[in-house]
């Protein structure tokens, strides 16, 4: 019995898509399976760049056809990612922990940070030039943001319950500048949404833990006081140094 035999597997069915049937046959063919594994082990980002450049520029008609089909492709990818998450929830904890640990170690955080830099200007061009696309993109973004907020709340609650939120030597800390910008953006979104709906603000207030907000405000207040005292001390030191040099002349 294999170690993965207790993992739930999909049943063969007439309704199964062509892609699923093809992949199933490939997995059952040792030669193709080894080729897939060999390809997956190639972790050079240059290979991905060259593949995309070749795909888009080698044949213009093909690339335009792919762009025309991109919404369907995106829906396919999104559903595939959702199903990966559903299936991973069925994996035994030991296998899942090993998989996530390997993923966390191998995924390039630097590449992830480049995504907004690359796609930001592209989305800005599309949004500014097409009002209809802008509305669709805003609706898509809000729906995605709602899901991300809900998921992040659950993740942060789990981290807090596990006692892993406290600072630990060697562990990356939150980006203070990015966190400040996120708080500002969230406040701006709330203000704009509340300006058109008083009920929205009431619902937000009902789901806010005022105790946590008060504690966060107190922490920020203490930090502001310490920062102001530090700045005053630096300023006083500079003034005293300047006066001393002036008197010495």
pLDDT string in tens for the chain (249-residue length):
344 444 445 555 545 566 677 777 777 777 766 766 666 555 566 677 777 777 777 777 777 776 666 677 777 777 888 888 888 888 888 887 777 777 766 666 677 777 777 777 877 777 667 777 777 777 877 787 777 777 777 777 666 665 555 556 666 666 777 777 877 887 787 777 777 677 776 777 777 777 777 777 777 777 777 777 777 877 777 777 777 776 766
Q: Is residue 39 part of a domain?
A: no
Its pTM stands at 0.37
Query: Do 219 and 199 share a structural domain?
Result: no
Q: Is residue 196 part of a domain?
A: yes
Query: Do 246 and 218 share a structural domain?
Result: yes
Say how far apart CA 70 and CA 59 lie, in whole Å: 16
Angle separating helix axes 131-161 and 109-129, nearest 10 degrees: 150
Query: Do 189 and 216 share a structural domain?
Result: no
42 in helix, strand or coil? coil
Phi, psi of 172, deg, nearest 5 = -60, 140
Say how far apart CA 38 and CA 178 lie, in whole Å: 38
Q: Is residue 150 part of a domain?
A: yes
- Model pLDDT, residue 134: 76
CB-based burial of residue 127 (10 Å sphere; 0-12 exposed, 13-18 middle, 19+ buried)? middle
Query: Do 136 and 154 share a structural domain?
Result: yes
- Model pLDDT, residue 3: 43
For 19, residues 6+ apart whose C-beta sits below 8 A from its C-beta are none
CB-based burial of residue 123 (10 Å sphere; 0-12 exposed, 13-18 middle, 19+ buried)? middle
Query: Do 230 and 204 share a structural domain?
Result: no
Q: Is residue 154 part of a domain?
A: yes
Query: Do 247 and 222 share a structural domain?
Result: yes
Q: Is residue 112 part of a domain?
A: no
CB-hemisphere CA count at 13 Å for 85? Answer: 6
Q: Is residue 148 part of a domain?
A: yes
Q: Is residue 225 part of a domain?
A: yes
Say how far apart CA 37 and CA 47 lie, in whole Å: 16
Query: Do 204 and 218 share a structural domain?
Result: no
> How many domains does the chain fold into?
3
Say how far apart CA 241 and CA 235 lie, in whole Å: 10
Say how far apart CA 146 and CA 218 lie, in whole Å: 28
Best CA proximity match to 193, nearest among 181, 182, 183, 202: 202
Angle, vertex CA 245, rays to CA 243 and CA 246, nearest 5: 60
Q: Is residue 55 part of a domain?
A: no
- Model pLDDT, residue 150: 73
Say how far apart CA 51 and CA 57 lie, in whole Å: 10
Other beta carbons within 10 angstroms of residue 66's beta carbon come to 13
DSSP string, 174-220: P-HHHHHHHHHHHHHHHHHHHHH-HHHHHHHHHTS-HHHHHHHHHHH
Q: H or E stretch including 154?
A: helix 131-161
Cβ(190)–Cβ(204) under 8 Å? Answer: yes
Say how far apart CA 161 and CA 154 lie, in whole Å: 11
Q: Domain range holding 195?
A: 177-208
- Model pLDDT, residue 50: 78
């Amino acid at each position: 019995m294999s170690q993965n035999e207790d993992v739930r597997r999909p049943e063969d069915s007439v309704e199964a898509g062509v892609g699923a049937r093809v992949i199933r046959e490939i997995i059952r063919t040792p030669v193709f399976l080894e080729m897939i594994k060999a390809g997956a082990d190639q972790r050079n980002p240059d290979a991905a760049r060259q593949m995309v450049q070749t795909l888009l520029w080698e044949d213009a008609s093909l690339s335009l056809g792919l762009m025309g089909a991109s919404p369907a492709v995106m829906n396919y990818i999104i559903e595939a990612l959702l199903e990966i998450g559903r299936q991973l929830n069925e994996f035994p904890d030991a296998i899942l922990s090993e998989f996530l640990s390997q993923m966390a170690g191998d995924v390039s955080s630097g590449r992830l940070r480049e995504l907004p830099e690359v796609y930001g200007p592209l989305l800005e061009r599309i949004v500014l030039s097409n009002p209809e696309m802008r509305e669709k993109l805003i609706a898509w973004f809000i729906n995605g943001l709602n899901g991300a907020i809900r998921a992040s709340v659950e993740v942060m609650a789990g981290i807090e319950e596990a006692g892993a939120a406290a600072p630990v030597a060697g562990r990356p800390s939150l980006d203070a500048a990015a966190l400040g910008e996120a708080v500002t953006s969230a406040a701006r979104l709330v203000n704009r949404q509340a300006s058109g709906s008083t009920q929205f603000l009431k619902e937000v207030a009902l789901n806010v833990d005022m105790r946590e907000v008060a504690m966060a405000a107190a922490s920020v207040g203490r930090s502001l006081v310490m920062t102001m005292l530090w700045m005053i001390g630096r300023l006083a030191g500079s003034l005293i140094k300047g006066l001393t040099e002036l008197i010495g002349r």
